[in-house]
Amino acid sequence: MNFADARKWMVDGQVLPNKVTDPRVINAMLDLPRHLFVPANSVARAHADEDVPLGQGRVLLQPMMIARLVQMTQLRMGETALVLGAGSGYGAALLARMGAIVTAVEQDPALAALARGALASAGVVSPGSVQFIEAMPVGGAPSGPFDVVMIEGQVPAIPEAVADRLAEGGRLVAVRRRPGRSGAAVLGTRSGGTFSVAEMFDCGTAPLPGFSAEPGFVF
């Protein structure tokens, strides 16, 4: 398989037709070898228009979904980003390729190992631009503050403890479950010390472990 051609097919056929217009996102997805961020037995599916199973119920988000979430961050060069439930590291690598200084948190040691190997092999992410931490996504993440937070999976709500990690003017993106309906991509922002969340588009993906709907969570 010619992986460069596969990435171009992925971008042309899935990403561009789905309202992704930021050239930095597009170029990062063309540059980053997505096939390195999936298990060896799933390489043939790496560029398909679907979530790619990573094992234990975890997935790599389908190309158009991760592209739209990253675009929603409105990332600026040199900003700090926190990725929770980082999985195999693809979302963290995209942000780093676009110029962020990334802290990626993943609780599954096997996925963290896959991510570290993929980042080292990719050859397009600056050394040291991604720090990987093996920890629970809510309680184990550094306190920040961060300019961007991306939750790489579907969650029932945004915990206050996560929203509190946003700097003033910061942006948070996630997929939030809606009982009895499809999920929604949400954009959270912190302005004037207040955190607010807006739904952006309908979507759904696998639930992310380590999140639960508890009192004090932000809906």
| Listed residue (152, 126, 129, 124) closest to 29, CA to CA | 124
Does residue 1 have a pLDDT over 80? no
The alpha helices in 76-210, defined as continuous H runs, are: 90-97, 109-122, 160-163
What is the pTM assigned to this prediction? 0.94
Does residue 13 have a pLDDT over 70? yes
Interatomic CA distance for residues 11 and 9, integer angstroms: 6
Strand pairing category for 130-134 and 101-106: parallel
Does residue 145 have a pLDDT over 70? yes
Residue with tokens 């037709």: 17
Give percent of the chain with pLDDT exceeding 70: 97
Report the phi/psi class of residue 87: left, alpha or beta, with left for phi > 0 and alpha for psi in -120 to 50: left
Interatomic CA distance for residues 90 and 58, integer angstroms: 13
Does residue 106 have a pLDDT over 70? yes
Does residue 179 have a pLDDT over 90? no
Residue that wins the pLDDT comparison between 219 and 140: 140
Q: How many CB atoms are closer than 10 A to CB 202?
A: 12
Residue 186's pLDDT band (cuts 50, 70, 90): very high
Domains of the chain, earliest start first: 3-218 (3.40.50.150)
Q: What pLDDT does 201 receive?
A: 95
At 106, give phi and psi (nearest 5°).
-140, 130
Does residue 57 have a pLDDT over 80? yes
Q: What pLDDT does 219 receive?
A: 54
